[in-house]
């Protein structure tokens, strides 16, 4: 019986070699991929940066020069610290290196609006370096997937135009924070609930905006981690509670010691802001506001007496209520209730059947609800659900189609952040490249073999005339906003292109929310 | 999970590709491409469908890299009174849009030739004219006669950068596409190697840094030359002559390639049935192109011919050798001229990956002093990094046919020279040269680069000699299917 024995021996050998080096090619691929992205990000160093750059430089100076008790009280610069304590510690850590590179960076008074090459290179490199956590998180999430899916997820997460635009041009640290979120989600997906909860608690102490998914985490961990009888469940509940409390104590403890909790909370949750940010994030309230204005216009024409509100939607009134002519006024507590209501289907599902493979979708759904119905939402918050959805986008063709559309809507809605002419080709080509990569990536994942013409890919990615015309509408919108409007209308109605863009993207966001909701409700 | 073709199967594919303004129809290009054994690689999904997917994605990435490099300073930025190449190009736009054609090259009160006089042939002047019209439409102050000297503004820089970008995309990129299609047809290569090759050409750090950083229009003349090479490989000699004549008329340095082009073309003509007729056809195309370009000046030139045994592969080595001879021994050679030998080396990248990589690294080093003066150190590092990363892409680089035996001595020498190069980079940036020898470090850098260039040139000459001794005419190659 020689041939079967030989075959067995050969198979055993192959298995052994595979076991010895399962991760080497993945790490090599990841290294190659992250090197290219890092070098490209270096090229973006002299690009335009927003006031967020000065905000973070001020925090470097603040945490370096002042003692802890003054961090949340200091008002030397208008850019006061409004992130939770772990982020302040992070800036403190960075400031150690900043002061070595150029002491003026961390000078509280002389460093105000410091624009030298040293601070630009230092801060940009700090964002690039902190992206290492994002790379690590996608490594952990994808190391057991097959290579095609794995690489596609890497491309979708790291080369997301929105992330590159916001982090490496506009200037923020979202890659680093989203990396922590993905680490937590990855742990939950594998069943390491304690680690997942622990990392999420850490994330909350870096940026409190991520707390929108708190209810989902709470219900999921309660049902999935704390199970197995009353005694066992209770001990697990206590363990998780202790871990989370420990994290919060580590963050807020020193400030509680100085009696500063009130100041900290006041900075983190500022009042006096309106329903919408200066530039309207494409959420539900855009549609609400525009309907209100339209109703007011129509009713006024019909002869009714309509009182036009005196304040704007971006500022605030006494009591933080933004004014509406016809439709009911919206208050922060109302938005809070609506968000909770919107998240509830996923909570019900998580309660009934807490399965690890659905957790990413539930958390992404929670962030979508927070984006669509929240108070004073920034357009950058769309990254919070876009990036986790990239991980599940490769699972089915419907997920891929949804992600394709959502990614375009989200990236396009971030375009107004880069309003200077110099960055225009960058953001456009970045989006086109992303579309091409998604197009070819997804269609190669899901198309049948031997079918290689573009028509199949087109059918695969965008079905139906409505979706096709919606996506083509972006081209029309861009041509109008960039070329036709200045040419035809000049300086009149300057808010019109932005308003149209918010409205148009809001439609896409609503569609995505409904699609996600349907997906969650229909799941087993 | 992988996608594989049975070895030897072929597909007839009808291409209709719209690139920029040109529509190139490549109908019935027979592609017998080897099945990809390792297509479960990380980026197998990009290449298993043929060449259009990787070409589009790599082109978009290459355009993105170019736009990102454009953010950085240009040559002579903020450096009166003479500024640099950027000011020269802007000045030529000023001259060509404001003066009649016959005054462009003449010294006069309005056209002071000592301030960046036009020193390239007329096609550069026409291109400056077209770009100048664009600038005049959007930002007239930047090209107004005499008052715009030393003009530096945000929108002016942006418009100038965009003229280089559009020239690149409209001329260089289609030429690369044509080359890769013809190359794929004639040299049987894995699809992943082709994608790597496209990346190597389009992400050439030297070209991007010079054109989009320092500021020049090499992409036009190199793109036309590349088109001429593709035409020769595709057996369209008349088109090749036309394109190469245009390249010569854009920058006279393209003459570095003249010996290779004309010897190859003449050799092909002599192999045909009616040599005199063929030669005269080519001659007419060349003379006609020159006449067309020099029409306002009514000059003409005659090409010098040499005879050799023509073969496509030897032709490519011939390009490299003739460019090198000119670069190494000509009078008043600018460092940027290294782009000329670099072009055929890039075309040969799949055949000689190590040679190509070595030449690129030392071409970069030779341009380092120039780029440091332009404050382009950051994009230098970034592009060097991107180049090396893409070079070592998994499953990208083909295994060299005669893999250099990893003898201890060769590896040690390679590592030593690379360390020396790294040390020179750091020394040049950090240490001040002694007062007695202010250009000491430049001299050392150039000596090192020269030594490596000579080694590359010697190897390439030897290779061409071996190839021409093998005597493989063009006709037999095409019959291999």
CA–CA distance, B280 with B282 (Å, rounded to integer) = 5
Range of the domain at A430: 332-522
Of B48, B155, B393, the CB nearest to A32: B393
Q: Inter-chain contact A425–B67, Cβ cutoff 8 Å?
A: yes
What is the phi/psi pair of residue B28, to 5°?
A: 55, 45
Residue B302 pLDDT exceeds 80: no
pLDDT greater than 80 at residue B299: no
pLDDT at B307 over 50: no
Q: What Cα–Cα distance (Å) separates residue A146 from each residue in A26, A195, B43, B222?
A: 10, 25, 12, 41
Q: Cα separation of B31 and A439, whole Å?
A: 24
Tell me which residue of B74, B210, B67 sits closest to B152, measured CA to CA: B74
Q: Is residue A168 assigned to a domain?
A: no
Q: Please give the Cα distance from A204 to A247 (Å, whole number).
A: 10
Looking at chain B, the whole-number percentage of residues with pLDDT higher than 90 is 39
**Is a pLDDT exceeding 70 seen at residue B479?**
no
Q: Domain end: A130, A150, A177, which one?
A: A130
Residue B3, pLDDT > 60, answer no
> Looking at the domain assignment, is residue A167 inside a domain?
no
pLDDT in tens, B174-232: 999 999 999 888 877 777 788 899 999 999 999 999 999 999 999 999 999 999 999 99
B122 is written with which tokens?
Answer: 């007329």
Tokens of A516: 């996600």
Q: Could you tell me if residue A275 is inside a domain? A: no
| Cis amide bond preceding B81, omega within 30 | yes
pLDDT in tens, B81-133: 778 889 999 999 998 998 888 888 877 777 777 788 888 888 999 999 999 99
Q: Do A425 and B162 touch (CB under 8 A)?
A: yes
Residues 6+ apart with CB under 8 A from B439: B433
Instruction: Give yes or no for a contact between B202 and B59, defined as CB atoms under 8 angstroms apart.
Output: yes
Q: Which of B116-120, B132-136, B315-319 has the highest mean pLDDT?
A: B132-136
In a domain, A384, yes or no: yes
**A412 occurs within a structural domain:** yes
Asked if residues B219 and B342 have their Cβ atoms less than 8 Å apart, the reply is no
Domain membership flag for residue A402: yes
Q: Do B71 and A422 touch (CB under 8 A)?
A: yes
Interhelix angle A332-352/A359-373, rounded to 10 degrees, is 170
**Closest-CA residue of chain B to A453:** B49
Final residue of a structural domain among A130, A154, A186: A130
> The tokens 């900075």 sit on which residue?
A267
Classify the C-alpha dihedral B268-B270-B274-B277 as positive or negative. Answer: positive
A445: which chain B residues are within 8 Å (Cβ-Cβ)? 45
- Contacts for A514-520: CB closer than 8 Å, 24+ residues apart: A515/A402, A516/A361, A516/A364, A516/A365, A516/A368, A516/A402, A517/A345, A517/A365, A519/A361, A519/A398, A520/A345, A520/A346, A520/A349, A520/A358, A520/A361, A520/A362, A520/A365
A20 belongs to a structural domain: no
First to last CA, chain A: 49
Residue A415 DSSP class: G
In 3D space, the residue among B198, B251, B241 whose CA is nearest the CA of residue B220 turns out to be: B251
Chain A and chain B share a number of CB contacts under 8 A equal to 108
CA B234 to CA B426: how far, in whole Å? Answer: 45
**Any idea what the Cα angle at residue B265 is, between residues B259 and B269, rounded to 5°?**
140
Q: Are B378 and A45 in contact (CB under 8 A)?
A: yes
HEC profile for A8-71?
A: HHHHHHHHHHHHHCCCHHHHHHHHHHHHHHHHHHHHCCCCCCCHHHHHHHHHHHHHHHCCHHHC
User: For A190-249, what is each residue's pLDDT tens digit?
Assistant: 989 999 999 999 999 999 999 999 999 999 999 999 888 888 889 999 999 999 999 999
Contacts of B69 (CB under 8 A, 6+ apart): A43, B208, B209, B212, B213, B379, B383
Query: What ipTM, to 2 d.p.?
Result: 0.89
- Per residue in B263-298, pLDDT (tens digit) is 888 888 887 777 777 778 888 888 888 777 777 665
Chain A environment of B3 (Cβ under 8 Å) = 449
**Cross-chain residue pair B48–A444, CB shorter than 8 Å:** yes
Q: Which residues of chain B approach chain A closer than 8 Å at the C-beta?
A: 1, 3, 40-46, 48-50, 53, 56-57, 60-61, 63-65, 67-69, 71-72, 154-155, 158, 162, 165, 378-379, 381-383, 385-386, 389-390, 392-394
What is the chain B residue with the closest CA to A121? B378
Q: What span, in angstroms and rounded, lies between the C-alpha atoms of B187 and B33? A: 9
**CA separation for the pair B434, B98 (Å, rounded):** 47
Give B28 to chain A, closest Cα distance, Å: 15
Taking any CB pair shorter than 8 Å as contact, residues of chain A touching chain B are: 25, 28-29, 32-33, 35-36, 38-40, 42-47, 121, 146-148, 150-152, 421-422, 425-426, 429-430, 432-433, 436-437, 440-441, 444-445, 449, 452
Q: What is the pLDDT of residues A252-301, one digit of tens each?
A: 999 999 888 888 888 888 766 777 776 678 989 889 888 888 888 888 88
Q: Which residues of B touch A38 (CB under 8 A)?
A: 385
Q: pLDDT under 70 in chain A at which residues?
A: 1-22, 271-272, 278-279, 306-323, 448-459
Out of A130, A148, A178, a domain closes at A130
Please count the structural domains in chain A: 2
Q: Cβ contacts (< 8 Å) between A422 and chain B: which residues?
A: 71, 154, 158
Within-domain flag for A227: no
Supply the pLDDT for residue A375.
87
Confidence class for position B310, pLDDT limits 50, 70, 90? low
Judge contact between B135 and B96, C-beta under 8 A.
no
The predicted pLDDT at position B386 comes to: 94
Q: What is the pLDDT of residue B192?
A: 77
Helices (H), ranges, B296-352: 312-329, 339-347
Checking if the pLDDT of B13 tops 50, the result is no
Instruction: Give the count of beta carbons closer than 10 Å to the beta carbon of residue A176.
Output: 22
Higher pLDDT, B447 or B273: B447
Nearest by CB to residue A147, choosing from B40, B67, B72, is B40
């Amino acid at each position: 019986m020689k041939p079967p024995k030989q075959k067995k021996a050969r198979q055993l050998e192959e298995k052994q070699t595979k076991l010895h080096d399962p991760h080497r090619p993945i790490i090599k691929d990841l290294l190659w991929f992250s090197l290219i992205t890092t070098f490209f990000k270096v090229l973006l160093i002299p690009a335009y940066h927003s006031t967020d750059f000065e905000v973070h430089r001020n925090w470097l100076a603040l945490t370096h020069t002042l003692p802890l008790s003054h961090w949340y009280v200091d008002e030397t610069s208008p850019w006061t610290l409004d992130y939770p304590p772990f982020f302040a510690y992070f800036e403190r850590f960075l400031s150690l290196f900043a002061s070595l590179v150029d002491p003026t960076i961390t000078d509280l008074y002389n460093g105000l609006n410091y624009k030298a090459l040293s601070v630009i290179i230092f801060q940009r490199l700090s964002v690039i370096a902190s992206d290492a956590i994002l790379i690590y998180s996608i490594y952990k999430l994808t190391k057991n997937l097959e290579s095609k899916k794995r690489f596609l997820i890497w491309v979708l997460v790291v080369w997301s135009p929105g992330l590159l635009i916001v982090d490496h041009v506009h200037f923020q640290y979202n890659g680093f924070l989203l990396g922590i979120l993905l680490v937590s989600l990855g742990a939950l997906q594998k069943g390491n609930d304690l680690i997942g909860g622990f990392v999420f608690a850490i994330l909350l102490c870096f940026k409190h905006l991520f707390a929108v998914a708190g209810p989902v985490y709470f219900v999921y961990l309660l049902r999935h981690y704390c199970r197995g009888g009353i005694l066992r469940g209770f001990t697990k509940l206590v363990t998780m509670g202790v871990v989370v409390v420990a994290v919060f104590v580590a963050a807020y403890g020193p400030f509680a010691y100085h009696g500063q909790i009130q100041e900290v909370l006041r900075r983190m949750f500022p009042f006096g802001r309106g329903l919408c940010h200066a530039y309207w994030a494409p959420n539900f309230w855009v549609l609400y506001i525009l309907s209100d204005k339209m109703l007011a216009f129509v009713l006024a024409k019909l002869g009714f007496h309509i009182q036009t509100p005196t304040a704007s939607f971006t500022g605030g009134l006494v009591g933080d209520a933004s004014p509406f002519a016809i439709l009911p006024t919206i208050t922060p507590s109302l938005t809070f209730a609506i968000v909770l209501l919107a998240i509830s289907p996923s909570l019900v599902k998580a309660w009934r059947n807490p399965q690890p493979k659905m957790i990413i979708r539930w958390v992404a759904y929670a962030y979508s609800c927070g984006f669509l119905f929240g108070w004073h939402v920034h357009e950058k918050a769309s990254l919070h659900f876009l990036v986790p959805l990239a991980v599940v986008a490769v699972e089915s063709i419907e997920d891929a189609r949804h992600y394709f559309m959502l990614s375009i809507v989200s990236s396009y809605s971030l375009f107004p952040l880069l309003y200077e002419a110099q960055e225009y080709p960058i953001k456009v080509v970045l989006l086109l490249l992303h579309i091409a990569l998604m197009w070819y990536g997804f269609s190669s994942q899901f198309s049948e073999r031997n079918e290689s013409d573009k028509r199949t890919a087109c059918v695969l990615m965008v079905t139906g005339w409505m979706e096709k015309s919606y996506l083509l509408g972006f081209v029309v919108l861009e041509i109008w906003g960039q070329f036709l409007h200045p040419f035809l209308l000049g300086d009149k109605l300057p808010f019109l292109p932005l308003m149209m863009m918010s409205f148009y993207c809001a439609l896409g966001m609503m569609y995505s929310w409904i699609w996600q909701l349907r997906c969650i409700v229909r799941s087993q | 999970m992988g996608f594989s073709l049975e070895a030897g199967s072929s597909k007839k594919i009808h291409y209709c590709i719209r690139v920029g303004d040109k529509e190139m129809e490549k109908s019935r290009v027979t592609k017998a491409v080897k099945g990809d054994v390792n297509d479960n690689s990380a980026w197998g999904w990009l290449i298993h469908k043929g060449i259009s997917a990787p070409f589009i994605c790599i082109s978009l990435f290459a355009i993105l890299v170019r736009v990102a490099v454009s953010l950085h300073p240009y040559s002579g930025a903020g450096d009166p009174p003479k500024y640099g190449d950027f000011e020269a190009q802007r000045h030529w736009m000023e001259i060509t849009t404001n003066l009649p054609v016959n005054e462009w090259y003449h010294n006069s009160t309005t056209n002071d030739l000592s301030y960046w006089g036009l020193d390239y042939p007329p096609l550069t002047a026409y291109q400056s004219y077209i770009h100048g019209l664009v600038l005049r439409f959007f930002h007239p102050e930047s090209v107004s006669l005499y008052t715009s000297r030393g003009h530096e503004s945000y929108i002016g820089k942006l418009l100038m950068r965009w003229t280089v970008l559009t020239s690149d995309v409209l001329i260089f990129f289609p030429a690369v596409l044509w080359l890769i299609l013809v190359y794929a047809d004639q040299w049987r290569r894995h699809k992943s190697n082709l994608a790597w090759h496209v990346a190597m050409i389009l992400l050439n750090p030297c070209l991007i840094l010079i054109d989009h950083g320092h500021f020049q229009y090499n992409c036009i003349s190199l793109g036309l030359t590349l088109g001429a090479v593709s035409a020769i490989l595709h057996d369209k000699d008349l088109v090749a002559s036309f394109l190469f004549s245009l390249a010569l008329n854009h920058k006279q340095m393209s003459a570095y390639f003249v010996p290779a082009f004309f010897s190859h073309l003449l050799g092909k003509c002599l192999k045909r049935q009616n040599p005199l007729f063929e030669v005269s056809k080519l001659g007419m195309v060349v003379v006609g192109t020159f006449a067309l370009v020099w029409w306002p000046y009514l000059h003409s030139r005659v090409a010098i011919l040499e005879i050799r045994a023509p073969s496509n592969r030897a032709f490519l080595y011939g390009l490299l050798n003739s460019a090198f001879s000119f670069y190494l021994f000509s009078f008043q050679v600018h460092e940027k001229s290294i782009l000329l030998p670099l072009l055929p080396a890039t075309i040969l990248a799949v055949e000689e990956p190590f040679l190509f990589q070595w030449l690129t690294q030392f071409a970069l080093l030779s341009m380092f002093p120039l780029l440091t003066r332009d404050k382009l150190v950051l994009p230098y590092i970034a592009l060097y990094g991107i180049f090396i990363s893409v070079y070592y892409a998994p499953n990208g680089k083909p295994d060299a046919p005669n893999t250099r035996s990893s003898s201890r001595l060769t590896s040690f020498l390679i590592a030593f020279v690379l360390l020396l190069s790294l040390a020179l980079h750091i020394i040049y940036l950090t240490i001040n040269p002694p007062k007695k020898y202010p250009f000491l470090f430049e001299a050392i850098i150039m000596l090192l680069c020269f030594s490596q260039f000579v080694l590359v040139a010697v190897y390439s000459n030897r290779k061409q000699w071996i190839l021409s001794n093998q005597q493989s005419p063009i006709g037999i190659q095409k019959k291999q299917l």
